[in-house]
Structures are given as structure tokens and as C-alpha cells.
Amino acid sequence: STLFPYTTLFRSKGSAFKPYRDGVMEVGATTRWESCSWASTLSTHDCKWAAKEAGADFAIYWSFDQEKGVLRPTCHWNPPDHVAAVKAATGNSELYTTESYQGVLGELKPGDGFVGKAYKEAHAMFIPDLSAALDSEYPRKQLATKYGVVSLALKPMGDGVMEIGTS
């Protein structure tokens, strides 16, 4: 690659970039992110780390269910102050992350919606303005609107997709 000639030198197969302080932080791997075996055991702690590192308001990890052929949320994280604010405002503890587990919203086929597309195409995606997304592209658009979700970033990892977002 002309942009990253050092990837050949160091045998890097996957990189992630994040604005950090006065520059950019790069994290690289000598295996593809998609083949990282540790990604299949992601936990709430990992979702918290992903959200905090990216400056996001939440994270959801979607794992591929081999038996049913769908992606399902298997862990998530929201900042405690956000959880408390939503509960105070609505009287219940439902959130964008928790409602994403429910019914057909919690089962996405590869290629369906942004999560399914990121998984099927094995490419990271960034959607800076969800209000401009078509309902057909984003089955959880009404849910995002309900909870004020503004933007999403999605990264295939292991046998699933990490979704982080802002509200």
C-alpha cells in the first residue's frame, strides 16, 4: 500500500486508528482483527473499554450465532451517569443498548442493517448522522431516535461486530 508501506515490513494485517491528544493512536495486529480468537469471548468490560477509548456513550458487541445464522448482542456497556439520567427522565431502566436485544431488533442477518453489512463485508463503518440513514439501512433507527443516538462506528472483530455510538 502506498499509504502504509510499513505494513508489509512489519507484516501488519489489521490496524485501528483513533484521534488521541495532539495526534493519532494506531493499534495494529499481525493477524486480521476478524481472526482474533479472543474476540469471541468479549465481555461488558471489553465494551466499556471500547466505548471509553473511543469517547463513545455506549458499546454493544454483536456475536454471530452459527446455529441460527444471525448476529445477536452478547454484551454492552453504558456509563452509569447516563443510565441514571435515563432512569430519572423515563422512570425505567431501558436503554438503546438493552432494547437492542429484544425481538427482531436483536437478530440481524449478515448483510442486514449497518451491523450486518459491517460483518458480511468485513469492513469498519462510520455513520456520523443517523438521522440521514434510511430505515432499510438501519432497522433500529426508531430506537436510536427514541434514545437520541446521533452516530455509530462499527468494527468487525472475531466472529462479530463491535458497535459504539454517541448520543
pLDDT over 90 percentage in the chain: 42
pLDDT of 13 reads 47
Q: Are 143 and 165 in contact, with CB atoms under 8 Å apart?
A: no
For residue range 2-40, what is the model confidence (pLDDT) as tens digits?
A: 333 333 333 344 555 555 555 555 555 444 444 444 445
Contacts of 150 (CB under 8 A, 6+ apart): 129, 130, 131, 165, 166, 167
- If one compares 79 and 29, the residue with the highest pLDDT of the two is 79
The whole-number average pLDDT for the span 90-108 is: 85
Q: Is the pLDDT of residue 67 over 80?
A: yes
